[in-house]
Structure 1
Amino acid sequence: RFINEPGQMKLLIVVDKLLTGFDAPPATYLYIDKQMRDHGLFQAICRVNRLDGEDKEYGYIIDYKDLFRSLERSIKDYTGEAFGGFDREDVSGLLKDRLETGRERLGDALEAIRTLCEPVEPPRDTLAYQHFFCAADTADPEALKENERKRLALYKLTAALLRAYAGLANEMHDAGYTDAEAAEIRAEVTHYDNVRKEVMRASGDYIDLKLYEPAMRHLLDTYIRAEESVKISAFDDMPLVQLLLERGADAVETLPPGIRRDREAVAETIENNVRKLIIDETPINPKYYEKMSELLDALIRERRAQALGYQEYLKKIVALTKQIKRPGDGARYPGTLDSPAKQALYDNLGEDEAIALAVHEAVTLTKQDDWTHNPIKTKMVRIAIKKVVQDDEKLDKILELIKNQQEYA
């Protein structure tokens, strides 16, 4: 399918692996401002017909010389005039109908994401999607990790669907869809976009869309959310845990509407995010975050037993989040343990202040530049620690703990 623009003609090139043998560097746009035919034109087109990265899906030709005159006779024949010196089978398939190809691509994208979401239990509401992609039980510390692959597939397939839809959104009728079909597809695309956003928020899979996916945000604003209210803040681009620290229970107001309307969905979203934070921080201080995990489990049990009102639950989960994120706050550590690394040693060495300080001193005096990636330098640190920690099994755990401390890097 050709796109007619003032003074030019744009063609969508569909990649054919057989056309990648030329040595000229690949390109995305080809501007034709001189007469070309047969082999010269064929080789030029092949430059935009080759992939040179994951982001490139096809190339464009801007034809100022109207070389593809076959359009005047048949919109399906792109080869007659421009490639008169070739046998038809040699150039067949080099150029394809853009709308036809776009329709196939959109259909494939819809089928892929429908298949992924098919096992989601009815009524396929916010909680059902959270249970499928995040955790059926927020008290299960392994559930988030086990479902990570499904979530990544959801994010990838939704992005592919949005791009496929954006390619046809303004030309659905020309692509052969009725008004009813176009409205139904738009609603389905919007639905999966909302599912993606809710699952990403509920799982704690934080991605700064401003930096990571500017093109995706443009697609959403242009084709999916154009009729929604104007966004006046960027709170949805911040991790939920950070919002809980900064805004307390008011952070709930930043959640997507589908989650916010359901208190159970709100609770599970917060619990998944707090659980993910505990898992991520555990290597830095295993003993401390083991206690935090137990506190979270206890709070979940209280909520499920309806021993807490909703506001009281929010108050307690915010307080727990502060404990998790800021372990050094308060007076639980002796004054000499004035850094996260010393506090981690204290927690994991039986809360023995003297041993923790002795290990800290041994590491500080022995470690050399980039020691964590050098076996010989690492062995030197291990020998120094062994003078304080005699048990080999415990020593290896403490050494791994020390490697995870930014202070000792």
Structure 2
Amino acid sequence: MPELEDLQHFLITRPHALVARYEFLSFRKAEAGRAWLNGLIDKVGTASSVASSNLDSRWVTVAFTWNGLRTLGVDESSLTNFPEEFQQGMAARATILGTTGANHPDHWVGGLGSPELHAIVILFARDVVERERCRREHEEYLRGLPDVEVLSSLDLEAIAPYGHAHEHFGYRDRLSQPAIEGFGVEPTPGSGPPIKAGEFFLGYPDEEGSCVLPQPEILTRNGSYLAYLMMEEHVGRFRDFLRQNGATREEQELVAAKLMGRWRSGAPLVLAPDKDDPELGGDLQRNNDFNYGEMDPHGYGCPLGAHARRMNPRDTAANMQRRKMIRRGGTYGPALPEDAPEDGIERGIAAFIGCASLVRQFEFAMNVWANDPNFHELGNERDPIFGTQDGSYDMTIPKRPIRRKIKGLPAFTTIRGGAYFFLPGIRALRYLAALGN
């Protein structure tokens, strides 16, 4: 059974929060980092506390880079038990991830590619007023810890004018999340069977029956790895592209749906290939109830290269139970008003991918699903929304009698930063805070 009192809530239960603040920290001295952590542990939300309480004082999440664990004083023999990709950090994995060109770590902001990045604290709140109170409280707390430095911060706020979350391009968000075995949540129709807890949390059996648990157990049990990505969305460029490739508003919306694999309402193209169906898009019992192999093998509904189909190939890929990930995060920056020109203000998504294996889950998705030009034998395509685009890749839209090929897709997104974190359990946080005593 999952140890809900020891698991941080972040990958399990969403708090009743519409805004958040991410603060990226560096510890100049080990004792300062441990003192900072010790004073925050009682505010960290557990899976059980967030599910049963509305207390925003428990809506805090804390995670560390490998360099952060080292700086806190974790001994070398323990540090070497962590997987190589976590030890290296995301910035060193650019070639594997496909983060080239404008997406390369050389261009990242906020110290996210720096070895001096040691920790992240996430402060959740119901609204902006509460977030500002949390920010001020943490700022005041840090005044007594001069050797803890805030490298950068990011404020997030949900965009939900239609009663549901969506991102800056206008697509409905949070439609598909894996159900974890033993956590009491049944998967929605079409989402596949519950996934073993060991695919997300260390110390539990995975889909192959293995139980991965680097030593020492007190540090790693109930922990997870987080891949963080800060991704700018070029909304004006995206809208210009739709206008260039659709003569009418209806045609533009269809192009937008073909790029994503869903209409902006969330309705999947496999079930609504010709016209949007907002009622379907909002129905969690129906909007994931489809497959590709039998219902749309050639991509006449959802193109083979569409974002949703690439990032979750469902029944058309092997080993899917071991590839799925938990996604968290939200939007930053103000919404760009409809029909307004690009205003030069940065906006985008700041997302976390939670998993037990960065290589098997996150890095595979980036390398193969997002950025392999020959995925599904397409030849010269990358994920049209999320992949690394430089104007040299295409998008094929199957259509009878003649398919449509859009050549030279621009980059609709740019990765502005990223990092690998370890999300410890509560006992592990206390262990880290007590190092050196």
Alignment TM-score > 0.5, same fold: no
Higher strand share: 2
Higher helix share: 1
Aligning the two structures, in what range does the TM-score lie when normalised by the shorter sequence?
Answer: under 0.3
TM score, norm. by length of structure 2: 0.21
TM score, norm. by length of structure 1: 0.22
Which structure is richer in relative contact order (CA contacts within 8 A, separation 6 or more)? 2
